[in-house]
Amino acid sequence: MAHLELLSAGAVKPGLANVIDVFQQNTGHKVNVTFATAPEIRRRIGGAALDVVIAPTLLLDDLVKAGKITGERVMVGRIGVGVMVRDGAPLPKIATVDDLRQSLLDADSVVYNHASTGIYLEALFARLGIAAQLKTKTTRYPDAAAVLAHVGRGKIGEIGFGATTVIVEGKSKGLVFVGPLPAEIQNYTAYAAMVTPAGAARDAEREFLDYLATDVVKAILAEAGIQT
């Protein structure tokens, strides 16, 4: 039995947590997972004993170039951006780009994170020509958990954004998933797994990466809203 230290992006948590549970049951290996934002993952690589990293593919590209991770990459899946409001709030219209744009202008406040989702949204709002109007009523947090907590106890006229998987998981926290961004402006973040040079459990690392590519795992991830 081996012990694996896994650092993962929080957006895949709803599916990955179930994957890890099944992997541990089937193999007897122990997986200790820490979920973090992309900026946190970048900071932690190289400074802690880690075996496997699951992160946005663009971040992995940067880490490979920096020599902080090496080897084979296994795709986990991709996740889109969704819209949420607190339970009991009227649902904003988001079916079209114009609908979303007007709903944002009409909203009392807008909430999203500083991670990959938030970086995309910041550029999107600028592209839609509403960045200046939203600036004074926008609140941003380091991670998705803080965004969900804020929206769940926030204003009726507030619109929040996050990874679709995370929003769906937050239904028990007083949130309502309004829907995904319109197809024309949807942004998918792709996530993949790689091993770190500092990892000590090479056989178990290989076993875990192989497991991520199986049909069983793909079914678990799909159920959580992660496209594989």
Q: What is the pLDDT of residues 2-14, one digit of tens each?
A: 889 999 998 899 8
- Tell me what pLDDT residue 47 has: 66
- Tell me what pLDDT residue 148 has: 95
The secondary structure of residue 134, as a DSSP letter, is H
pTM of the model: 0.75
The secondary structure of residue 28, as a DSSP letter, is -
Please check the confidence at residue 165 and state whether its pLDDT lies above 70.
yes
3-78+191-223 in CATH: which number?
3.40.190.10
Amino acid letter, residue 38:
A
As given in the structure block, the two tokens for residue 53 are 């990293």
Residues β-bridged to residue 52: 6, 195
Q: Average model confidence (pLDDT) for the chain?
A: 92
Tell me which of 128 and 222 has the higher pLDDT.
128
- Tell me what pLDDT residue 38 has: 86
Cα separations (Å) of 196 from 58, 60, 191? Answer: 16, 11, 16
Please check the confidence at residue 201 and state whether its pLDDT lies above 70.
no
Domain ranges within the chain, ordered by starting residue: 3-78+191-223, 81-185
The candidate with the shortest Cα–Cα distance to 56, out of 97, 99, 10, 5, is 10
Confidence band of 137 (pLDDT split at 50, 70, 90): very high
- Tell me what pLDDT residue 11 has: 87
Cβ neighbours around 191 below 10 Å, total: 25
Confidence band of 151 (pLDDT split at 50, 70, 90): very high
Whether the CB-CB separation of 122 and 113 falls below 8 Å is answered with no
- d(C-alpha 27, C-alpha 1), whole Å: 8
Confidence band of 197 (pLDDT split at 50, 70, 90): confident
- d(C-alpha 144, C-alpha 189), whole Å: 14
Q: What is the 3-state secondary structure (H, E, C) of 50-106?
A: CCEEEEEHHHHHHHHHCCCCEEEEEEEEEECEEEEEECCCCCCCCCCHHHHHHHHHH
Domain 3-78+191-223 matches domain 81-185 at the CATH topology level: yes
Q: What is the pLDDT of residues 62-111, one digit of tens each?
A: 999 988 888 889 999 999 999 999 999 999 999 999 999 999 999 999 99
Quick one: average pLDDT of 46-68?
88
- d(C-alpha 5, C-alpha 47), whole Å: 13
Amino acid letter, residue 202:
R
Confidence band of 218 (pLDDT split at 50, 70, 90): very high
81-185 in CATH: which number?
3.40.190.10
Number of residues that make up the chain: 228
Please check the confidence at residue 198 and state whether its pLDDT lies above 70.
no
Whether the CB-CB separation of 11 and 40 falls below 8 Å is answered with no
- Tell me what pLDDT residue 46 has: 74
Kindly tell me the burial class for residue 11, based on how many C-beta atoms sit within 10 Å of its own C-beta (0-12, 13-18, 19 or more).
Answer: buried
